[in-house]
Amino acid sequence: MADDSNKIGQYDFVAEPFHVDFTGRLTMGVLGNHLLNCAGFHAAERGFGMMTLNENDYTWVLSRLAIELEEMPRQYEKFSIQTWVENVYRLFTDRNFALLSQEGRVLGYARSVWAMISMQTRRPADLLTLHGGSITDYVCDRPCPIPKPSRIKVAASEPAASLTARYSDIDINGHVNSIRYIEHILDLFPLSMYQEKRIRRFEMAYVAEGYYGDRLDFYLDRHDDAHYEVEVRKQEDEVVCRSKIEFTVI
Amino acid sequence: MADDSNKIGQYDFVAEPFHVDFTGRLTMGVLGNHLLNCAGFHAAERGFGMMTLNENDYTWVLSRLAIELEEMPRQYEKFSIQTWVENVYRLFTDRNFALLSQEGRVLGYARSVWAMISMQTRRPADLLTLHGGSITDYVCDRPCPIPKPSRIKVAASEPAASLTARYSDIDINGHVNSIRYIEHILDLFPLSMYQEKRIRRFEMAYVAEGYYGDRLDFYLDRHDDAHYEVEVRKQEDEVVCRSKIEFTVI
Quote the CA–CA distance of B213 and B190 in Å, as a whole number. 26
Q: Are residues B168 and B127 in the same domain?
A: no
Can you say whether the dihedral through the CA atoms of B46, B51, B55, B60 is positive or negative? positive
Local confidence pLDDT in tens for the 250 residues of chain A: 446 768 999 999 999 999 999 999 999 999 999 999 999 999 988 887 776 777 778 889 999 999 999 999 999 999 999 999 999 999 999 999 999 999 999 999 999 999 999 888 989 989 998 777 788 888 999 999 999 999 999 999 999 999 999 999 999 999 999 999 999 999 999 999 999 999 999 999 999 999 999 999 999 999 999 999 999 999 889 999 999 999 999 9
Q: With respect to residue A112, please indicate whether it lies within any of the assigned structural domains.
A: yes
- Look at residues B233, B239, B229, B205 and name the one whose alpha carbon lies nearest to residue B217: B233
Quote the CA–CA distance of B122 and B104 in Å, as a whole number. 40
Can you say whether the dihedral through the CA atoms of A141, A142, A146, A149 is positive or negative? negative
Give the one of A40, A168, A212 whose C-beta lies nearest to B27's C-beta.
A168
Q: Are residues B124 and B17 in the same domain?
A: yes
Quote the CA–CA distance of B72 and A8 in Å, as a whole number. 33
Mean pLDDT of the region B230-240: 95
CB contact under 8 A, A37 and B20: no
Q: Are residues A11 and A134 in the same domain?
A: yes
Range of the domain at A197: 161-249
What's the pLDDT score for residue A1?
A: 44
Q: Are residues A134 and A172 in the same domain?
A: no
Q: With respect to residue A145, please indicate whether it lies within any of the assigned structural domains.
A: no
Q: Are residues B13 and B98 in the same domain?
A: yes
Q: Is B139 helix (H, G, I), strand (E, B) or coil?
A: strand
Q: Which of B78, B105, B138 is the last residue of a domain?
A: B138
Q: Are residues A167 and A221 in the same domain?
A: yes
CB contact under 8 A, A172 and B22: yes
**CATH code for the domain in which residue B174 is found:** 3.10.129.10
Burial of A153 (0-12, 13-18, 19+ CB in 10 A): exposed
Q: Is B192 helix (H, G, I), strand (E, B) or coil?
A: helix
DSSP A28-85: HHHHHHHHHHHHHHHHHHTT-SHHHHHHTTEEEEEEEEEEEES--PBTT-EEEEEEEE
- Look at residues A33, A32, A80 and name the one whose alpha carbon lies nearest to residue B20: A33
Quote the CA–CA distance of A108 and A105 in Å, as a whole number. 9
Say which range, B10-24, B46-60, B102-116, B223-237, has the weakest mean pLDDT. Answer: B46-60
CA angle B225/B230/B233 to nearest 5° reads 160
Quote the CA–CA distance of B172 and A235 in Å, as a whole number. 35
Q: Are residues A208 and A118 in the same domain?
A: no
Query: In this structure, are residues A177 and A122 in contact, taking their beta carbons and an 8 Å threshold?
Result: no
**A104 CB neighbour count, 10 Å cutoff:** 7
pLDDT of residue B165 exceeding 80, the answer is yes
More confident: A239 or B134: A239
Q: How many domains does chain A have?
A: 2
Q: With respect to residue B145, please indicate whether it lies within any of the assigned structural domains.
A: no
pLDDT of residue B33 exceeding 90, the answer is yes
Quote the CA–CA distance of A178 and A207 in Å, as a whole number. 11
What's the pLDDT score for residue B49?
A: 77
Assign B176 a pLDDT band (cuts: 50, 70, 90). Answer: very high
Chain A contacts to B (CB-CB under 8 A): 16-18, 20-24, 27, 29, 33, 36-37, 40, 50-51, 75-76, 166-168, 170-174, 177-179, 183-184, 186-187, 189-191, 194, 212-213
Q: Give the strand order in the sheet containing B197-206.
A: B9-14, B78-88, B93-101, B106-118, B58-69, B197-206, B238-249, B227-234, B215-222, B161-164
Query: In this structure, are residues B66 and B203 in contact, taking their beta carbons and an 8 Å threshold?
Result: yes
Task: Give backbone dihedrals phi and psi of A65, rounded to 5 degrees, phi first.
Answer: -145, 130
Quote the CA–CA distance of B63 and B114 in Å, as a whole number. 5
Q: With respect to residue A114, please indicate whether it lies within any of the assigned structural domains.
A: yes
- In chain A, which residues have their Cβ closer than 8 Å to the Cβ of B37? 16-18
Quote the CA–CA distance of A247 and A23 in Å, as a whole number. 15
Q: With respect to residue B65, please indicate whether it lies within any of the assigned structural domains.
A: yes
Q: With respect to residue B108, please indicate whether it lies within any of the assigned structural domains.
A: yes
Quote the CA–CA distance of B126 and B162 in Å, as a whole number. 37
What's the pLDDT score for residue B1?
A: 44
CB contact under 8 A, B172 and A17: yes
Q: Are residues A105 and A172 in the same domain?
A: no
What's the pLDDT score for residue B3?
A: 61
pLDDT of residue B16 exceeding 60, the answer is yes
Smallest CA–CA separation between A141 and chain B, in Å?
29
What's the pLDDT score for residue B12?
A: 97
Q: Are residues A93 and A170 in the same domain?
A: no
Can you say whether the dihedral through the CA atoms of A237, B186, A205, A186 is positive or negative? negative
- In chain B, which residues have their Cβ closer than 8 Å to the Cβ of A50? 17
Give the one of B22, B173, B174 whose C-beta lies nearest to A174's C-beta.
B22
Q: Are residues A165 and A51 in the same domain?
A: no
Q: Are residues A46 and A170 in the same domain?
A: no
Q: Are residues B65 and B169 in the same domain?
A: no
Q: With respect to residue A222, please indicate whether it lies within any of the assigned structural domains.
A: yes
- Look at residues A21, A105, A27, A36 and name the one whose alpha carbon lies nearest to residue A70: A105
Q: With respect to residue B149, please indicate whether it lies within any of the assigned structural domains.
A: no
